[in-house]
Structure 1
Amino acid sequence: MSWYTGNNSQTPFSMFSAEHLLMIIIFFLGIAVIYALKSRIKNRRLRKYEIAIAVSLLLFETAYHGWLITTGQWGKNHALPLELCNISLVFVIVLMLTRHRAIHSLVLFIGIAGAIQAIVTPVLSYGFPHFRFVHFFYTHILIIWVSVYFVVIHNYRPRFLSVLIALLFLNILLPVIIWINHSVNGNYWFLSEKPAGGSLLDYLGPHPWYILSLQGVAFVLFTLIWLVFKKR
């Protein structure tokens, strides 16, 4: 069971190691397959596969919190499912179960923008074959694959209005996350302080002004995503 309970000294993660690069390659290959085989995929009965993926994501996330608890790492100041990728994962599960267009409009922007950064520059301590490594890349890659799948296979093309709705959604959540951070001494969304070790936030001004700068960054990223996936 060392793959599940072992510490990060046994399976350390290294940025751009062979296993990390393999995950990046798998990520891009999956998107290429969706586009290349879209005609074949559209002709299949897909509902059971969508439900199966939703269930697998739910099981993985449940196992992740079980791992945090059994290894004594769970804490309300960092383990609540409040990060953008956590929220996107919940949306993906709901999307796969309901095929709701409004849910897709949110996860397409919020999920892709956050998950791409996580896949390329992961904040991760555990390498392959540890459970945390598999969980991290499986969930983040599926967030993007599912978002692209609904655009390509189900033709859920975003409107520019969806960009503004996604930004509004984030700003509605913003004061809630700030209040939770204050209540549990947390740093969800890096709203309390910048991450240690350097990040994009270092170029966006001091705290709390970088929070305003992030609004512009989000708008640019969401607009780029809209340009890529909008109806031609």
Structure 2
Amino acid sequence: MLAQQRQQAILERVRSNGGVRVADLVRELGVSDMTIRRDLEVLAERGLVEKVHGGATAAGPGSTEEPGFAAKSMRQQPEKEAIAQYAAQLVRPGTAIALSAGTTTWTLAHSVVDVPDLTVITNSIRIADVFHRSPRADRTVVLTGGVRTPSDALVGPVAVAAIRGLHVDTLFLGVHGMDARAGFTTPNLLEAETNRELVASAHRLVVPADHTKWGTVGISTIAELSQAHVVITDSGMPDEARDELTAQVGELIVAEARPESAVLSR
């Protein structure tokens, strides 16, 4: 297969699936890791894909474009792990928490499966499945109904009705973007409505979001920055963004992404 044909095949996979992994392409196309990485570099230079850790995703999302779960789960994996490790320390036995849909909150779910006497409210099929695969007799998981989005969130009137009237100690809110003016946003109008209901149900709002979320603006605002009690991000966050978040949110926590553990600073 010629390089141009191979790159076209890679681009078609990205457009079809929302993202690709280098390891998968090496196996499927029968070429070396270095060859695939060169192909991705060429496609990225042409603005056709966005290179991420371990692969590539579709480039140039707009305010209403919503990547699929698989594509988003490939992005900033070390940063999400570090953020999740710290966020897990905020979960106490005997409490009720809510986890909105998202790949960072999905990563967090894996870190709290062993917390005893926990009640979990979520509108994410993926997150509910994490707890289902690690059952505990002293844990209750409530999965809202609703219409499924490309990012595997359950949204809409059914989800809103299920959440309304609930009261949780802490909401861990996954967001598409955050911005000084627009606040925490999503590209899905129904997801914004559902997440606003989750925010209203929570005594404490924690937003775990890596640095790439800063400056990204979806079509609909979920909450203002000032509504967050805690924002947990990574060391890639620009200094000016840190200053803005420090001024507006209750507490900003920066998690250092490391290969084996997260070193945390405030």
Does the alignment reach a TM-score above 0.5? no
The structure with more strand, counted as a fraction of residues: 2
The structure with more helix, counted as a fraction of residues: 1
Q: Which has the larger radius of gyration?
A: 2
Q: TM-score, normalised by structure 2?
A: 0.26
Structure ranking higher on relative contact order (CA contacts 8 Å, 6+ apart):
1
Q: TM-score, normalised by structure 1?
A: 0.29
